[in-house]
Chain A
Amino acid sequence: MQTTSDEVLIARIAGGDRLAMQVLFARHHVRVYRFVLRLVRNEATAEDLISDVFLDVWRQAGKFEGRSAVSTWMLSIARFKALSALRRRPEQELDDETAEQIEDQSDDPEVALAKKDKAAVLRQALSKLSAEHREIVDLVYYHEKSVEEVAGIVGIPEATVKTRMFYARKKLSELLKEQGIDRGWP
């Protein structure tokens, strides 16, 4: 079965085709939502933001030049929206989030290990990374973006993409070590 490419859908959206918009939304909204949710950490905010992201796609479809994949373009828009929302977030909400992280980290390593297997501890560590590190890990591992695509989405040089990913993984190892798992690296 042949499916309509994202590029053709964007061309149709530029011409005002609502059905094409529905197809594009159905195809990508879950991944865009998850990308935003991992950044803003609030389901209601993430849900509001994805309609804003796709509204921008509707408005800007005529300007899309195909220099990147449609999914990469949409993640760039999503990132901008998420960061803008984070800047608007009340300080109280941020304090609550910080408090949650402090409580999590105070777990006794042995207790944590007894409660969870290594994979679960790793997922917990992934959740504790800074927004900057979470973002790059998700873009590379979950959204399967190349070095060049990540550079385009985040707006940093390709060399910085590699370095940032390295430090995100290094931080991950440190968080695991705090929970009693020594990976022997770095």
Chain B
Amino acid sequence: MNTTNNETHSDIEDLLPWHATGTLSRRDAQRVEEALAGDPELARRFAMVREELGETILLNETLGAPSAHAMEKLFAKIDAEPARKPAVSLNLGSRVAEFFASLSPRTLAWSASAAAVAILLQAGLIAGIVIKEKSAGGYETASAPSSDPGVGAFTIIRFAPQASSDDITKFLEANKLQVAAGPMSGGLYKVRVSMTGLPKADLARIVKKLQEDKVVGFIATTD
């Protein structure tokens, strides 16, 4: 495909600035790489983009920084604010992190022991599910199955303590998920959501959807 013969700018050419900063999805980056390899004019235009990138960075870096008064001003304003009410709508990941950060060492030790027991019980339960999965051929998609545990798109999940074996099985089946590794520290499991890599935005959307399921205690994206 010759991307630069068209009078109007092409889809690939539009992506060049983001390719230069490395913020494209793997799929789009590959499309651009392929086009660049076969189109010298596009490659020349990409060199222009890289030049613009370098000079934009330099321009911004020469803008200097605000004075130390900026922080003083900010904290003077914060001091003038009314007393803070307890936060109620933090996202789940932050709540989990803050929950553990807020516990005293003694409380944390007791909680950790109780959690360890729960995790062990759940680990056995999920191990059973994984064995069943493998003997039944797994929850692999029809296209391009892979036995490589490192291939695909993954999330880290901790299942809710009250989730039963049936709940977890149904959850994995319904969402075409595969337990790739675990349990790891903290009762976390690495779960494959796709057999191929996904753009960050797509993975974030999947995580957001899965987070709504009552079976999920904690979920985050991972490499």
Chain A interface (Cβ < 8 Å from any Cβ of B) = 7-8, 10-12, 14-16, 18, 21-22, 25, 29-30, 33-34, 37-38, 43, 46-48, 50-51, 54-55, 58-59, 61-67, 119, 122-123, 126-127, 137-138, 140-142, 144-149, 162-163, 165-166, 169, 172, 183-186
A-B residue pairs in contact (CB < 8 Å), sample of 19: A8-B97, A12-B101, A15-B98, A21-B75, A29-B65, A30-B66, A33-B70, A34-B60, A37-B63, A50-B74, A54-B74, A66-B94, A119-B51, A137-B52, A140-B17, A146-B200, A148-B201, A166-B13, A169-B49
B23 touching A144 by the CB < 8 A rule?
Answer: yes
Q: Which of B21, B49, B66, B73 contacts A33 (CB 8 A)?
A: B66
Min Cβ gap B222→A in Å is 14
B27 interface residue per 8 A CB criterion? no
A127–B63 Cα distance when bound, in Å, is 11
B60 touching A140 by the CB < 8 A rule?
Answer: no
Q: Which of A18, A38, A138 contacts B75 (CB 8 A)?
A: A18
A15 touching B60 by the CB < 8 A rule?
Answer: no
- With A34-B63, A66-B94, A162-B14 in contact, do A25 and B74 touch (Cβ < 8 Å)? yes
- With A138-B56, A146-B201 in contact, do A18 and B78 touch (Cβ < 8 Å)? yes
A10–B98 Cα distance when bound, in Å, is 10
Interface residues of B in 11-28 (CB under 8 A from A): 13-15, 17-18, 20-24
Interface residues of B in 56-112 (CB under 8 A from A): 56-60, 63-67, 69-71, 73-75, 77-78, 81, 84, 86-91, 93-95, 97-98, 101
Does more than half of chain B's interface fall in helix, strand or loop, or is it mixed? Answer: helix
Q: Max chain A CB contacts within 10 Å: which of B49, B65, B88?
A: B65
A145 touching B74 by the CB < 8 A rule?
Answer: no
B213 interface residue per 8 A CB criterion? no
B167 interface residue per 8 A CB criterion? no
B33 interface residue per 8 A CB criterion? no
B93 touching A66 by the CB < 8 A rule?
Answer: yes
Q: Which of A8, A30, A67, A147 contacts B94 (CB 8 A)?
A: A8
B94 touching A137 by the CB < 8 A rule?
Answer: no
Contacts of A183 in B (CB 8 A): 48
What are the nearest 6 A-B pairs in CB distance? A14-B87, A11-B94, A62-B87, A66-B91, A16-B84, A141-B56
- With A25-B71, A137-B56, A185-B45 in contact, do A58 and B78 touch (Cβ < 8 Å)? yes
Contacts of A46 in B (CB 8 A): 66
A16–B90 Cα distance when bound, in Å, is 13
Q: Max chain B CB contacts within 10 Å: which of A51, A59, A63, A149?
A: A51
A58–B82 Cα distance when bound, in Å, is 12
Interface residues of B in 155-187 (CB under 8 A from A): none
B14 touching A166 by the CB < 8 A rule?
Answer: yes
B56 touching A7 by the CB < 8 A rule?
Answer: no
Q: Which of B21, B54, B60, B69 contacts A47 (CB 8 A)?
A: B69
B94 touching A7 by the CB < 8 A rule?
Answer: yes
Q: Which of B13, B98, B208 contacts A12 (CB 8 A)?
A: B98
Contacts of A162 in B (CB 8 A): 14-15
B9 interface residue per 8 A CB criterion? yes
B97 touching A123 by the CB < 8 A rule?
Answer: no
Contacts of A21 in B (CB 8 A): 74-75, 78
- With A11-B97, A18-B75 in contact, do A140 and B18 touch (Cβ < 8 Å)? yes
B53 interface residue per 8 A CB criterion? yes
Q: Max chain A CB contacts within 10 Å: which of B59, B69, B89?
A: B59
A sample of 14 more A-B contacts (CB under 8 A), given A50-B74, A165-B14, is A11-B95, A15-B84, A18-B78, A21-B74, A30-B65, A47-B66, A47-B67, A47-B70, A50-B70, A140-B17, A141-B20, A162-B14, A185-B48, A186-B9
Q: Which of A29, A58, A165, A169 contacts B70 (CB 8 A)?
A: A29
